[in-house]
Amino acid sequence: MYDSDQTLLTRAPREGQGPSILISSTLPSVLSAEIIYQKDNLGITSILNYSIPENTTKVDFSWNLIPHIYAGFFQNLPNLTEINLLKNSISDVNDFSFSGVPSVEIINLYSNNLVVIRKHMFSGLRNMRRLHLEWNNIYKIEHQSFAENMALRYLRLDRNSLEDLPECVFDPENHPHLSHFRYCLSI
């Protein structure tokens, strides 16, 4: 199937038949593929039961009931660029949970139950450009929690329970390109 711009669009059946596959390219250039592993809105309570194909580029476990992200789950996914975990019940993310996927650029943890951002929660994500943490219950961010995230340009922390931010959370030397930072203090 082609859209009006002569772009080839293909999508595998979604339910019960593995990952969705979206191939998008303007002809006659070379095709690029996004392999999307999508398990959204299924009432899932643990992602440990799922084996994600190695060539997956995007993971979507949004609108489920996942309470915890364990270290090592996202290992061996060298092409992964986006993780969508919005609208779950996530109250904790193990330290170094994302260290095995340095290619990740976007993580969406919008509307979960996170309360503390620890120093090593997002360690290993040197290419992460966007991080959505809005609408959680975050009241504390540990010192240097984002020190390794040098590519971070967009961070949402609004609609949390933050009363203040520790000094040097966003050191201008480490984050000179942070162009969108939004948070509200609950005073």
Q: Give CA–CA dist 22/177, Å, rounded.
A: 31
Locate 150 and state its tokens: 């040098």
Tens of pLDDT, residue by residue over 157-183, are 989 998 877 665 666 666 666 665 655
Residues carrying CATH 3.80.10.10, the chain: 39-187
Put simply, whether the predicted model's pTM sits higher than 0.75 gets the answer yes
- Listed in sequence order, the residues at least 6 apart from 139 whose beta carbon sits closer than 8 Å to its beta carbon are 115, 116, 160, 161, 162, 163
Reported as a single tens digit per residue, the pLDDT across 66-125 is 999 999 888 889 999 999 999 999 999 999 999 889 999 999 999 999 999 999 999 999
Q: Check residue 164 and give left, alpha or beta (phi > 0: left; psi -120 to 50: alpha).
A: beta
- DSSP code of residue 168: T
Q: What is the CATH number of domain 39-187?
A: 3.80.10.10
